[in-house]
Amino acid sequence: MEILKCEGVRKIYGSGNNQVVALDRIDLSVEKGEFVAIVGASGSGKSTLLHMLGSVDQPTEGKIFVEGTDISTMSRTQAAIFRRRKVGLVYQFYNLIPTLTVRKNILMPLALDKRKPNQEYLEQIVDSLGIADKMECLPNELSGGQQQRAAIARSLIYRPALLLGDEPTGNLDRKNSREIIDLLKLSNRNLNQTILLITHDEKVALEADRIVTIEDGRIVSDEKRR
């Protein structure tokens, strides 16, 4: 089942002589449950693509469908609600709210929708991520790895269609990186979670089912490994 589809997506920044083409006619299709790594050099356009897929930014041209819904023309409010319900975003620098406890951070997407959490599912996530005993801590009381686990828990709480990771291991040591990748793989397998991961760490990329390589805003290779 196709969960994500990009059709001729272009993103141009600036105007006139200062125009920069960040993405140039990207066509991409991802099936439900796939674990895709997007790799490329710095400035190749991979982060820009991820932002488009997460409806954090909008393409200049082209269409992006997530579960059949075109997200490229959504209003800002529609895009926000879409992000809340359909996308889980994990950043390199965790982006947790420093004044809220880990529990409140994780539950924030549900709270924005005025929904009550499913306690069983919450426990399942935090247990599997190993942060059950850190729920009442503030983010700055946690290590980097623990903060990233909390960020992953937050991204999974709404059972999103897509989990998008922007270099989620980029700020972690080798051991923590390994653990985070294992956790992502676990959610991919156990929850059939579709994951798109940006990385320039070859070892991380090799863990994915599929590796998409971007150069100068274009997909130059799309290799299925499993």
Partner 1 sequence: MWREYSADYIKQNRSSGLSIVVAAFIAALFLSFLCSLFYNFWLDNVEGTKMETGDWHGRITGAFHAEDLELIEQFANVEKAVVNEELSGEQKTTVDVLFFNKRTVYRDMEAIRAWFKAAESDVTYNYQLLSLYFIRIPGDSMPRLLMPAYLAVVLIVCVSLILVIHNSFAVSMDSRVHQFGIFSSIGATPGQIRICLLQEAFLLCAAPIFVGLLAGIALSFGTMKAMGMLTAELVGGRQVNFYWHPAVFAGILFLSFLTVLISAWIPANRLSRLTPLEAIKGTAEMQLKKKKRSPILTMLFGVEGELAGNGLKARKKALRTTSLSLMLAFFGFMMMQCFFTLSGISTDYTYFKAYQDVWDVMTTVKDTKIEAFGLTAELKELPGADNTVLYQKAEALCRLPKDAESEELKNLGGVTVFGEEVADDEADFRKVKASVIILDDESFKEFCGQVGIAPRIDGAILLNRIWDSIHSNFRYPQYIPYVREDLDTVVLHRMAAAGEAGQVMDEKDSAKVPVLACTDMTPALREEYGKSDHDLVHFIPLSLWREISGKVGGAEPDCYIRALAGDRTSPEALCALEDEIIKIVGQTYEVESENRIQEKLDNDKMIAGYELVLGGFCVLLAIIGIAHVFSNTQGFLRQRKKEFARYMSIGLTPRGMWKIFCIEALVTVGRPMFLTLVLTIMAMAVMIKASNLNALEFIRVAPVLPILTFIFTVFGFVALAYFLGGRKLSKCELAKTLRGDSMSE
The CA R_g of the chain, rounded to the nearest whole Å, is 17
User: CA-CA distances (angstroms) from residue 105 to 64, 97, 144, 152, 176?
Assistant: 28, 7, 15, 11, 21
35 lies in the site for partner 1, by CB under 8 A: no
* 57 is an interface residue for partner 1 by CB under 8 A: yes
Sign of CA dihedral 100, 145, 168, 155: negative
Distance CA 55, CA 76 (A): 9
Q: Which stretch binds partner 1 (CB under 8 A): 18-26, 31-39, 110-118, 218-226?
A: 110-118
The whole-angstrom separation of Cα 186 and Cα 176 is: 15
Smaller CB distance to partner 1: residue 60 or 95? 95
Pick the binder of partner 1 from 15, 16, 18, 76 (CB under 8 A).
Answer: 76
226 is an interface residue for partner 1 by CB under 8 A: no
Taking CB under 8 A as the criterion, which residues in 154-183 touch partner 1? 154-155
- 76 sits in the region (left: phi over 0; alpha: psi -120 to 50; else beta) called alpha
Work out which of 93, 137, 170, 201 binds partner 1, going by CB under 8 A: 93
Count of residues of this chain found to bind partner 1 when the rule CB under 8 A is applied: 35
As measured in angstroms, the least distance from the Cβ of 219 to partner 1 is 22
Question: To the nearest whole angstrom, how small is the minimum distance from the Cβ of residue 222 to partner 1?
Answer: 26
Q: How many CB atoms lie within 10 A of CB 174?
A: 9
Backbone φ and ψ for 106, nearest 5 degrees, come out as -65, -40
Under the criterion CB under 8 A, does residue 16 sit at the interface with partner 1?
Answer: no
Cβ–Cβ under 8 Å, residues 38 and 200? no
Secondary structure letter of residue 133 according to DSSP: G
Nearer to partner 1, 1 or 18 (CB): 18
Q: Which spans of this chain sit near partner 1 (rule: CB under 8 A)?
A: 51, 54, 56-57, 76-77, 80-85, 89, 91, 93-100, 104, 107-109, 111-113, 138-140, 147, 154-155
